Structures are given as structure tokens and as C-alpha cells.
Structure 1
């Protein structure tokens, strides 16, 4: 079949995670072409094979070279990244290990946060502040536990839920939280720095 003039559009994200050692194009990106036979061949095209778990930096030129190996007359248009990270991580078999890690992290975060809040309250003398405020408003001496402590504790918990935008697995709104936004920026900066470092050391997978 004559494919003269066929144009193939490809798009690959900056960081791609795969769980199989043999990586095909369908595992890492999306492709569009009017020729369905050619489309199937590109999706089934093997782009890389990992010997062990790890990551590599690949140039999209290498992918274009492999596509031209199918048919050199194809015009390839890249709509994604020029260099991308390909990470191979086998699927975890021992799920209990992952669960144990999550539990351990949750415990550390819980007690660390509790200690931080307690230390902050001790520094500002919040007990004295509540006592003075209660006396000024009611004219009576504050009991050990008053409505101020109860409202403050409930407000602190509610504020954290709203800030993190999560209750268990459920989100309160569809908006991204400030932490999620900062994490996305951090991940993008790390990926960009990693690609530049590997390219500088000439260890990326590129055309010869």
C-alpha cells in the first residue's frame, strides 16, 4: 500500500511510567493517523527493552527514527515533549509492604504534626490568651475546658480538611489544593533537571 504523504501525529508526556520490561509505543504515548493499518503498526512498535527496573531519558527523535523504520515516507509531527523520561517499575507483588509503609508514614505525620501544633501553642501561650479572652467576655474565670477550646479545635480540624481538600478517598471539591499545585510544579522541575543532567552527560537515548 502506498503511504506517500501520510502524516502521523504523536504525543508523549514528559514522564512515563511502565510496568513491563518490553515497552511498546502504545505504552508511552498517543498517535493519530488516517491509515489504520499504519496506526496499528506504530502502536505495536517496540521502542525500548529494560534489563532491570530504572529509568532512561529518550529523545523523540529516536521514536521518529523507529517510525521511519516502518516506512521512511511517513511525515511525523511531534505534539508532545522533545525529550522524555521512561521509568520501568514492576508491579508490586507484596501489597502488605506498601500498606505498612503508608501506615508508618501516617503515624509519623500524625505525631509530628501534633507536636508542631503543641509547640506552637506553647510558644504563644494560647492557654493564657484563651483565659484572658474568656474573662473579658464573660466576666468569669475560665474553666479547664471552655467553649473556646472546643470551637478552636473543631475549626482547626475543619481548616485542615478544607486546605487538603480530602476526607479519606473523597475530595470536597474538584479544585486542586495548593499542595497539589506545588507538587506538580516540583515534579516538573525535577523531571526537567533530570533530563538536562542526563543529556549533558550524553547518556540519553538519541539518534546516532
Structure 2
């Protein structure tokens, strides 16, 4: 009687050039201890220059290769259908001048956006009217309202993004982190579909038909 082996592919792993990828690197195996040790040592892929920065390893390819060697085992896939292997390329450190220019651009742009918003909603007039309602006096620059409001605006942005420089304020993800996570998921799905060799083979087969 054949032994059932459950394979759960990892969603994504980080690789490096010329890496030998074993089954243990890309999947979790549920089987007997003896068989698991053999399966974990199986070579699935060797990273080459042709792979560039992304390698998609499909579960069907893994099961096919394992079935050729372990004929007495029955392989059952679980979880993700493929593993994305990200191979980072050598990156040059950004020039200090570029960092300063980009920082100034973002700082000035954010400041202009905030000032234009306050001008559109007439925030200065709102503060003047609030001062009149609370004190009964007309004052052009109610600093006792404007200064706390400006400080609160900066503190509110820090709390909203849940970061003070590189330090996280609490464990809850910020809205920006959630949006980046959604974007990364969409990017992974796109890469999985368009870079998967099995999908490409299906496309070519359908086009020839």
C-alpha cells in the first residue's frame, strides 16, 4: 500500500544566485520520518542566470519529479499551488544627494498639499470663528487654537501611520502597511500567473489548437 505524502508549498522564499533549491526550502512535508528525510534532500531547481530575479516552482512540477523517484508514495498537495523564489540583484547604495533631493521633494509636496487643503476649507476663518464663539472677541490670529491644532496634526499623522521614524508605536499595522500588503499580494498573483512555465505551456498549447 502506497504511503500518502502531504505537500504544502511555501508562498514565497528569498533565494540567491546559483542556489540549489531543495524540497525542504520550498515546501512542508507530512509523511513518515524516514520518507520525509529523503524527500527534504531532493533537489528541485538550481538557480541560473536565465532565471533572472524570479523563479516560479509549481506544485505539479514538484509532484511529477517526486513521482518519478518515489513510485510507492502518493502525493497530495495542500495550500498554495506554487512557490515564488525572489532572487535579489546587486543594488547600489543611493547617492546622498539623490536622497536629499527626494526628501525635499516629498517634504515640500506634503506641505503644499496640507496648506492647499486648509486654504480650500478656510481653516483660518474657522479658527477665528471658534475664537469668537468661545471668547466673544474678534482676533485675526488665535494662536491658542492654531498652535495646538498644528501640533495635533503632526501627532495625528504619526499615530495614523503607526511609526516614528523606524520605530513602531504598537503592533497594529498601519493603513499604509495594509495597502502595501494588498499590493504585494496582487503583484505575487500576477507574477505567479505570467511567470509560471506551466501556464505558459498551457497558453502555447491552446494557441496551437
One fold, TM greater than 0.5?
Answer: yes
Distance 1:115 1:182, change over 3 A: same
Post-superposition offset of 1:185: 2.1
Cα drift, residue 63 of structure 1: 1.3
In the alignment, is residue 30 of structure 1 matched against residue 63 of structure 2? no
- Tell me which residue corresponds to 1:123: 120
Tell me: CA distance 1:119–1:70, structure 2 relative to 1, closer, same or farther (3 Å).
same
1:14 to partner: Cα distance: 3.4
- Asked if residue 97 in structure 1 is aligned to residue 97 in structure 2, the reply is no
Q: Evaluate the alpha carbon distance shift between residue 138 and residue 145 of structure 1 in structure 2; reply closer, same or farther with a 3 A threshold.
A: closer
Whole-angstrom distance in 2 between the partners of 1:137 and 1:41: 76
Q: Name the residue aligned to 1:183.
A: 180
Question: Paired residues, what number?
Answer: 200
1:35-74 equivalent positions in 2, closer than 5 A: 35-36=33-34, 38-39=36-37, 41-43=39-41, 45-52=43-50, 53-74=52-73
Report the Cα distance in structure 1 between the residues aligned to 2:100 and 2:44, rounded to whole angstroms: 39
RMSD: 3.3
More relative contact order, 1 or 2 (CA 8 Å, 6+ apart): 1
Structure 1 gaps, min length 5: none
- Contact 2:16/2:87, CA 8 A, preserved across alignment: yes
* Distance in 2 separating the partners of 1:31 and 1:17: 19
* Contact 2:53/2:89 (8 A) holds in 1: no
SS in structure 2 at match of 1:30: strand
* Cα deviation 1:79-122 (Å, max 9, x = unaligned): 22113433321464x4x339887666544433222111011111
Partner of 1:150: 147
Structure 1 contact 57–204 (Cα < 8 Å) conserved? no
1:60 to partner: Cα distance:
0.7
Match of 1:138 among 135, 140, 151: 135
Partner deviation per Cα, 1:21-51 (whole Å, 9 max, x = no partner): 3241333333343224642552452424231
What is the rounded CA distance, in whole Å, between the counterparts of 2:197 and 2:17 in structure 1? 28
